[in-house]
Structure formats: C-alpha cells, structure tokens
Amino acid sequence: MNQSQLARPRWPLRLILVIVLALVGQRAQCSEPATDLFVESETFADKETWPITTTAGVDDLNNPAEKSDAAGAADKPDRPLGSAFFGGDRGPPVFGPPLITGNREAPKWPDISQPGPDMGDFPNSAFTLPKGRAYLEFSPATVLNSDRQSPATYDAPFLLRYGLTDDVEFRVFGNGLTVVEGSQGSTGFSPLNLDLKIHLWDDRKEWLIPAMSFEVYLLTEWGSSQFTGGWEPSINLNFDLPICERTNLEWTVGYSGVQQAFNIHTQERFVPRFGYLVPGIHRTVDRNFNQVSAQWAIEQEITKKLQLFIHGAHNGSVIQRYGSGQIVGVGGFWKFSDRLMGFGSLNTGLSPNLPTCAIQVGFAVAL
C-alpha cells in the first residue's frame, strides 16, 4: 500500500459528530406524542393493547365498569422506562398467562414500518415479519475506500425476508455484486447466507426488559470462488428497548464465523473484507476462525416520515463483511409510502483495517 492509501481523512468523522449533536437536540423532544412510523416506538403499545389483558378475577366479569378500569390500568400503552423499579406503574404481570384476552386485529399490509428494514443500520431488530409476508431490502450503492489491508470496493448487498410464522422469519442475504479495485482487483458475486430469525418476546420497558430475538445464519460457498472462505456458521441475539415514544435503543451481540488471513509483508493477521485475498500479499491462516461481534444503534424519530440514527459495530455487521475492528456512523430512514422506504448511512472506521469512508444508500419494499 502507498502512503496515500494509508492516509486517513477526518472529514467523515467530523460530519458524524455534527449529526450526533443534532440528534442530541432532538432527544429533548422525547416527551412529545409518538407518531405511527417505527415499530420500536409502537410495538409495545400495539401488542399490549391488542389483545387486551388484565389480571382481574372471574367475579369482575359481572361488573363491567370495574373490569374496564382494571383493563385500562393493566394496558396503559406507554409506561416510563424503568418505572417498576421506582414506585411507578408496574404494568401487567411479567410471567404467567393472561386471564382475560380479547381478539387481536390482524396487522395491516403492506406496512414497511412494521417491523421495518434490517439493512439500514448495523444491528438487526428483535422483530419479525407477519406470517406469509415478505420484504426485499437492497443497496445498489455501497462504496468503501481502501484501508491498510484492502483496496477500495463496491458491492450491492441485499436481504430477502419471509415470515414463516408471526414469530419465525426465513432470510437470504449477501453482498451481491462485488467489485475490488486496483491492479490485482476482481469482480464477482459474494456468497449467499441462509438465515433464520426467531422472535422470543416483546419489550417490557417499565422493567427494563428489551424485546429479543434469536438469529442463526450460515455463510455458504455459493458465490464466486475469490470471495468464498468456507462454510461459516454464526449466531446472534437481537434486542430492542424503547427509551421513550420517539427514541429506541437497538443492539445485537453475536459469535461469528470468519476467515482469518495473514499479510506476508507486514506480518499482520486480519479478517479480509468480503473474504478477498490480494494475490501475492495475503495468505489464508484459518478458514474456521470465530470472533465475538456487536452492533448498536440509537434511533430517533423526527417526523412521521423521517428517522435518524447513530450506530456502530465491533468486528463488522451481520450483512456487511467489513472485517475486524470498530466502525461508527450516522444515517436515516425516509418513508415514501406504506410499501417503500429508503435508507442511507455515512460511516468511518476507527481501526486501521477498516475503511475511513463507507457509504450506503438503499431501499426496502414490502412485497
């Protein structure tokens, strides 16, 4: 690598800091009424309101007024974060079956807001698609500049999601068309990943209990040979915790299978971007290397159509195989209609083996 490739421009990080300061100003509006855009802000309310659940006894069925009061107290749509620990509203019991359950309305469709795209920010959400419904998420413009180990690259990641049940989602994703620049570059199709996500429970913010899902996926060898590094299984736990009606905290922790490589010139071990090894410079060390990964995002609803976020990742995100290290960024979602949503992000690596500028622009469609 020449000296120009090693230079790390600071403008992406400065721009990220400016947008973060703007989000901090928006945080003061946390107490305003929620809009109906994002699942993280309203799933708790929807799933507690329908079905209606109360801990009232059987005798209360003979007194509709008392039953109505009990149900209303038990199913208040939005409770303060952590209120159960500070003498506030505890909500209905965390454990145990409900005694009275009403009918629940079927979710409307198409609805690109619930559960919302998974590709926009680094972590995956805890929520799944309704049974029989599908999303297509695609980023035709994803560009990363060079870092210490990898030349500049272009890829077109995608994610296809299908609801097997209301709580189980089958997914296929990959980096799609992948172009590695430079004199020893290459063009091909990155291998597919087979993915299954299972929603376990909804959030109970008054008890500081986040919504949670379990995800397992397998990186296959079904792609161009220069981008394949073997069959690599990974597992994730995905969490969502609404801080208030407009702000949501989302994070993912995982144990990921990756390929580890060695640079014969610098004597460094690293995880190659998209699994690509530069001929004559990189050698494979371990095709079955495992590492802990983590991603996080703070999402702030600005209007009914616009949501902004800051996010970061340790050892890469689920869909984008950046490599090992830390990366942070800012971005947003824009809702065009009930069926179509756009997203984009600007990111910068904090580690020398990650790009200083990574740009992603894409969209999600409810099929």
* Structure confidence at residue 270 (pLDDT): 92
Does residue 229 lie within any of the structural domains?
Answer: yes
Q: Is 52 left (phi over 0), alpha (psi -120 to 50) or beta?
A: beta
Q: Determine the Cα–Cα distance for residues 100 and 44; give it in Å rounded to an integer.
A: 19
Tens of pLDDT, residue by residue over 179-218, are 999 888 899 999 999 999 999 999 988 889 999 999 999 9
Most confident of 42-51, 53-62, 286-295: 286-295
Q: Highest mean pLDDT range out of 11-15, 112-116, 261-265, 305-309?
A: 305-309
Mean pLDDT to the nearest integer, 344-350: 96
Report the C-alpha gap between 169 and 279 in whole angstroms. Answer: 39
Quick check: 44 pLDDT over 50? no
Terminal alpha carbon distance of the chain: 44
Tell me the average pLDDT of the chain.
Answer: 82
Residue 33 lies in a domain: no
Number of domains making up the chain: 1
pLDDT, position 137: 98
DSSP string, 45-98: HHHHHTTTEE---GGGGG-HHHHHHHHHHHT-S---TTGGGTTS---S-SSS--
Containing 122, the helix (H) or strand (E) segment is none
Specify if 361 maps to a domain. yes
Pick the residue with more confidence: 75 or 105? 105
Q: Decide if 36 is inside a domain.
A: no
On whether the CB atoms of residues 120 and 159 are closer than 8 A, the answer is: no
Cα gap 44→39, rounded to integer Å: 8
* 319 in Cβ contact with 159 (< 8 Å): yes
Domain that holds residue 281: 3-17+111-366
CA distance linking residue 331 with residue 19, whole number of Å:
9
In this structure, what CATH number is given to the domain that contains residue 207? 2.40.160.40
Q: pLDDT category, 123, cuts 50, 70, 90?
A: very high
Q: Is the pLDDT of residue 39 over 70?
A: no
Residues of the chain with pLDDT > 90, as a percent, come to: 58
Task: Check: CB of residue 346 under 8 Å from CB of residue 359.
Answer: yes
Residue 186 within a domain: yes
pLDDT at 46: 42
Of 128, 289, 298, 156, which Cα lies nearest the Cα of 214?
Answer: 128
pLDDT at res. 77: 53
Q: Is residue 151 packed enough to be buried (19+ CB in 10 Å), middle (13-18) or exposed (0-12)?
A: buried
- For the entire predicted model, the pTM comes to 0.77
Task: Tell whether 319 is covered by a domain.
Answer: yes
Rg (CA), the chain: 22
Would you say residue 230 lies in a domain?
A: yes
Residue 208 within any structural domain of the chain: yes
